[in-house]
Chain A
Amino acid sequence: MSPLMEIRDLTVRFHGERTVHAVNGLDLTLQPGEVITILGESGSGKSVTLKALLKLLPEKRTEIGGTMTVDGIDVTALTGRRLSDYRGKAVSMIFQEPMLALDPVYTIGDQIAEAVRRHDRVSRTKAMDIALDMLTRVRIPSPERRLRNYPHEMSGGMRQRAMIALALACRPKLLLADEPTTALDATVQIQVLLLLRELQKEFGMGIVFVTHDIGVAVEISDRIAVMYAGNIVEEGTVSEIIKDPRHPYTKGLLAANLHGATRGTSLASIPGSPPPLDARPNNCAFAPRCAHAREECLEALPPVFRPGPGRRVACVLERGQSEMVLPARTPEAA
């Protein structure tokens, strides 16, 4: 089976007053019908990676390297009509900030119907029916009335669901979901997650899901990839990551949760801060914060190990424990 999405050695750099190396040699593969969750530090490049897949980054100031293939389409080469066909039909995105995706001057119904008609030759009435069906499916109360709402007339969680409806209306093969349930209460959140699981089965949609909520990752995904400073440091099945995290960053992240924390005490967090990213990291980007860091961690990019099928860990601590698939290396000079 050929993968639904394949990202190879993706780099994204923003040029401006100062350069930001947001994504640094990222590899990620998704099989059709599979759900992968990206967990990771705030600012580690999750949203930028998803936007790169949709070619949404400002062209002038962004330098993108590597290859991205979705459903056999070479994303980097897309332009014009083929690009707009690709967006929405092959891939669509639920944005972290609903207000970025929704147009304030059109009603929700018009926006969804318009998106449907951009890809399918259906009448306006039919498109509106689809919009209504989608709003119902994402459990927006009184959906008929909400069709006529402008975004500012909705609560945060309704806007988020409206955007989910918009993203799903054209039945994409690949859904990029950037923290899609942060504005939803637990009851609605679980309903939306169940809906995504159902649609994913129903039409074999693949999902790249970004969340900070481990519980949500557990509910929705088959696999988890952990991101730090523009790269994936560890990947595995949900059980592998939750029950047996290997990379020190993953361990720190999982330890920094509130379960069992006592009020009035200080919460555990990973000491230190992420690297500046004004240059491409040429060693383990986590080393300055890592309790196990050794000299070799500072000298080169860490080797990548394969503790099991479909699993990878970029950390020297794995040496001797599992098969090495990529040796320590120095990135080509930028």
Chain B
Amino acid sequence: MREVKNSRDRGGPAQPLVIANDLTRHFPVRGGLFGKAAGAVRAVDGVTFTVEKGETLGIVGESGCGKSTTARLLVGLIGLDKGEIVLDGEKLGGDLRLKDLWDDVQMVFQDSWASLNPRLTIEETIAFGPKMRGVSKVDARRLAHDLLERVGLAPARFAGRYPHELSGGQRQRINIARALAMKPRLVILDEAVSALDKSVEAQVLNLLADLKAEFGLTYVFISHDLNVVRFVADRIMVMYLGEVVEIGPVDEVWRRRAHPYTSALFAAMPSMDPDARTEKPPLAGDPPNPIDPPSGCRFHTRCQYAEAVCGKSVPRTSVVAGIASHLAACHMLDEASGHTKAGAAPTLINEAAE
């Protein structure tokens, strides 16, 4: 384990920075004539994971599977219906107040436009948080300029601009700088580099790595770009329809995509060869309705390996190929499940592995 040097550390290096236990959040759905609640979107439905100190946890999954909602739960922006969040040994709502959580956790939002105040200049935006915390005006300004420089936006040209005077990728970098200015211990980055060209993206990823080494930062990194996740993450968590279907060390998961959804997701990466474009989508079938998710394994309606048992019972989480840190929830991994491929699964379903 990497050494974490942080004066705010309470639980010691072995204590995970975050324990997310059974996180659950449903959104009521309006329906009918008078907009009465008619069911609920099960956006996040019993999600459990930990984030170790100094690690980067990558989260990937189908659009709408609950990644951003999970992130917003972690920063306490929306409340839990069920479950608990433990930050460095202290439970949110117990020893840990929301205000304490916000001292340690920052988020870079997926929508870089909506999350900037249009009436503040870039410099004011970045310096605002530190100033609220008692950092002097001069120091906050210096910090803002330093961070602008480091995300590749010359302060002389950009400090005085307003959000609408920036390109999409420039705004995204402002959001990253603003989060880092708060000196958090945990940064949740929700599609935070998606609008950057590859060269600037490399620059920002290098910056994140430097800060991690310097301050022992911990990241939760949500991205649709699997190449980026592979590069930045230590572990990767794959979500489908409000649930975790697979989690494990990134190289491990890359090699042995144990859950069929993970396989389909990875197989859908664009071809880099102009002469061999994709002709057929690797995942057919409609994404199911999150209000009334499929019974049993939620992926069974689209899974090419689905058998009767898959629609009947919820798969248990099993260890993949004897590697304790690699877990997946699929009947094929559970010898007792009754699936005909049970026990022989990982090698069977990994045609795509490199």
Chief secondary structure at chain B's binding surface: loop
A269 touches B200 (CB 8 A): yes
B281 touches A184 (CB 8 A): no
A213 touches B270 (CB 8 A): yes
Q: B203 within 8 Å of A by Cβ?
A: yes
Among A219, A252, A258, contact of B271 (Cβ-Cβ < 8 Å): A219
A42-B195, A183-B191, A218-B271 known; A141-B202 Cβ under 8 A: no
A156-B63, A212-B196 known; A186-B224 Cβ under 8 A: yes
A42-B167, A216-B270, A239-B275 known; A141-B286 Cβ under 8 A: yes
B68 touches A156 (CB 8 A): yes
A20-B165, A185-B61, A186-B224 known; A219-B195 Cβ under 8 A: no
Beta-carbon contacts under 8 Å, B168-209 to A: 168-170, 173, 191, 194-203, 205-206, 209
Q: B309 within 8 Å of A by Cβ?
A: no
A41 touches B200 (CB 8 A): yes
Q: A214 within 8 Å of B by Cβ?
A: yes
Among B64, B194, B273, B282, contact of A182 (Cβ-Cβ < 8 Å): B194
- Apart from A189-B270, A218-B272, A276-B157, what 17 extra A-B contacts exist at CB < 8 Å? A42-B168, A43-B170, A97-B111, A141-B288, A145-B291, A156-B111, A185-B61, A214-B272, A218-B270, A218-B271, A218-B277, A239-B275, A253-B198, A253-B199, A263-B232, A266-B209, A270-B199
A187 touches B264 (CB 8 A): yes
Q: B287 within 8 Å of A by Cβ?
A: yes
A212 touches B197 (CB 8 A): yes
Interface residue count on the A side (C-beta < 8 Å):
73
Q: A188 within 8 Å of B by Cβ?
A: yes
Task: Give the Cβ gap from A108 to chain B, nearest Cβ, in Å.
Answer: 14
What is the chain A residue whose CB lies nearest that of B287? Answer: A141
Q: A268 within 8 Å of B by Cβ?
A: yes
A41 touches B199 (CB 8 A): yes
B206 to chain A: which residues have CB within 8 Å?
266-267, 269
Beta-carbon contacts under 8 Å, A191-247 to B: 191, 193-194, 212-216, 218-219, 237-239, 242
Q: List 14 A-B contacts (CB under 8 A).
A: A42-B168, A42-B170, A43-B169, A155-B63, A157-B64, A179-B195, A185-B265, A186-B224, A187-B62, A187-B268, A188-B63, A218-B270, A219-B278, A258-B198
A97 touches B168 (CB 8 A): yes
Interface string of B204-230 (1 = CB under 8 A from A): 011001000000000000001111101
Q: B353 within 8 Å of A by Cβ?
A: no
B64 touches A256 (CB 8 A): no
Bound-state Cα–Cα, A225 to B210, Å:
33
Q: B60 within 8 Å of A by Cβ?
A: yes
Beta-carbon contacts under 8 Å, B107-130 to A: 110-114
Q: B27 within 8 Å of A by Cβ?
A: yes
A179 to chain B: which residues have CB within 8 Å?
168, 194-195
Q: Which of B170, B194, B199, B209 has the most CB of A within 10 A?
A: B199
Question: What is the interface of chain A, defined by CB distance below 8 A to chain B?
Answer: 14, 16-18, 20, 39-43, 46-48, 96-100, 139, 141-142, 145, 148, 153-158, 161, 178-179, 182-191, 193-194, 212-216, 218-219, 237-239, 242, 252-254, 256-259, 261, 263-264, 266-270, 273, 276, 278
Among A42, A97, A139, A268, contact of B200 (Cβ-Cβ < 8 Å): A42
**Which bucket holds chain B's interface residue count?**
35 or more
Among A139, A186, A268, contact of B287 (Cβ-Cβ < 8 Å): A139
Task: Give the Cβ gap from B47 to chain A, nearest Cβ, in Å.
Answer: 15
Among A156, A187, A278, contact of B157 (Cβ-Cβ < 8 Å): A278
Interface string of B269-312 (1 = CB under 8 A from A): 11111110111011100111111000000000000000000000
Bound-state Cα–Cα, A270 to B112, Å:
24
Among B61, B165, B202, B269, contact of A256 (Cβ-Cβ < 8 Å): B202
What is the chain B residue whose CB lies nearest that of A276? Answer: B157
A156 to chain B: which residues have CB within 8 Å?
63, 68, 110-111, 191
- Name the 8 nearest CB pairs between A and B, nearest first: A157-B63, A42-B169, A215-B270, A267-B202, A186-B268, A269-B202, A141-B287, A182-B194
A253 to chain B: which residues have CB within 8 Å?
197-199
B160 to chain A: which residues have CB within 8 Å?
17
A264 to chain B: which residues have CB within 8 Å?
209
A142 touches B291 (CB 8 A): yes
B173 to chain A: which residues have CB within 8 Å?
42
Beta-carbon contacts under 8 Å, B53-70 to A: 60-64, 68
Task: Give the Cβ gap from B34 to chain A, nearest Cβ, in Å.
Answer: 13
A215 touches B27 (CB 8 A): no
B157 to chain A: which residues have CB within 8 Å?
18, 276, 278
